[in-house]
Amino acid sequence: MPIRPSSGVEIRQLIDALGAADDVRQEAAIARLAVLGPRAIEQLLQSFATATGRARAGMLRAFEGAADPRTLPAARSALQDSSAFVQTAAIAALRALLSARPDVSRDALDALVTVALDRGRIAAVRIAAIDALREMPPDVRTPLEAELASDPDPEVRARGDAVAESAGDPWRDAVAGRLPSTPAALKRALGAVRGSARLTELQRVIDHVRAHEGRDADPAVRRSGERCAAHSIRRSRRGTAVSRSTTCATA
C-alpha cells in the first residue's frame, strides 16, 4: 500500500519519538505505530539499522504488534545486539511471528530455540526465549525441556522445569489455537489469567474463536460468539470478575 505524504510525515515523527527520553511519548508512539501496522513497517525497517538502542527496542515492540513477516530479518539481527533490552524486545517480535506463514514461523522458531539453548547469553534473555516457546506443541517443547533440564544455570533450569509443568495449561492451549470444548471452559481459562495475559495473547484467542465459529456456525451464531469472546476479554482487561451466568457461558 503506497504511503500518502501526510502518513509518511506522521510515521517519521513517530519513529523519532521512539528514541525520546520521555517514556510516555515513546509508549504513545509505539501504540500508534501498532495501529498503523503494515503502513509503517517499511519506514521502520529503513530506520532500524541506524537507530539508537532505545529506538530499536521501541521499533521491535511495534513489530511485535504488527506481526508482519517483513520484520523477521530485523528481529533476528537484533538478537545479536549488545543490549539485553533490545534482545528481549526482539524475542517478543519473533514470538509474534510464530503464527505467520510456515517459512517465517520456522525461521522465528529456530531463532528462539537457539537463544533459549545458548549458554553464552545471560539468563534473562534465555528465559524470555523459553517463555516465548511455551505455546509450542509437545514435539517442539519436549526436546527443549530435555536440554534445559541439564543446563548449568539454575535460573534457566528452573524456568525450563516451569514450562514443562505448565504443559496442558488451558489458557496456553487456547492461545496456541487449541480451544476448550465449551465457551464456559474458555471463560474459566481467561478468568485464571485476568490482569496478567498479554494483549497479543488476548488478540490471538479472539482470532482463534472467530476462525472456529466461522467454520462451525451460521452467521448469527458466529457474530454472537465473537461478541462473547470480545466482551469477556474487555472485562478481563478491566479486572472485572468473569461471570459464568451470562448467556455466552452456556452457549
Domains of the chain: 1-66 (1.25.10), 71-167 (1.25.10), 172-250 (no CATH)
Catalogue the long-range contacts made by 146-149 (C-beta closer than 8 Å, 24 or more residues apart).
147/117, 148/116, 148/117
The string over 128-145, giving b where at least 16 C-beta atoms fall within 10 Å of a residue's C-beta and e elsewhere, is bbbbbbbbbeeeebeebb
Are 113 and 144 in contact by the 8 Å Cβ rule? The answer is: yes
Q: Decide: residue 167, CB within 10 A, 0-12 exposed, 13-18 middle, 19+ buried.
A: middle
Helix orientation angle between 53-66 and 23-36, rounded to the nearest 10 degrees: 40
CA distance 70 to 176: 22
Mean pLDDT of the chain: 82
- Other C-beta atoms within 10 Å of 46: how many? 10
Nearest partner of 237 among 208, 186, 198, 209, judged by Cα: 198
How much is the average pLDDT of 171-186? 77
For residue range 15-53, what is the model confidence (pLDDT) as tens digits?
A: 999 988 888 999 999 989 988 888 899 999 999 999 999
- Range of lowest pLDDT (9-18, 24-33, 190-199, 223-232): 223-232
Across 152-161, average pLDDT: 94
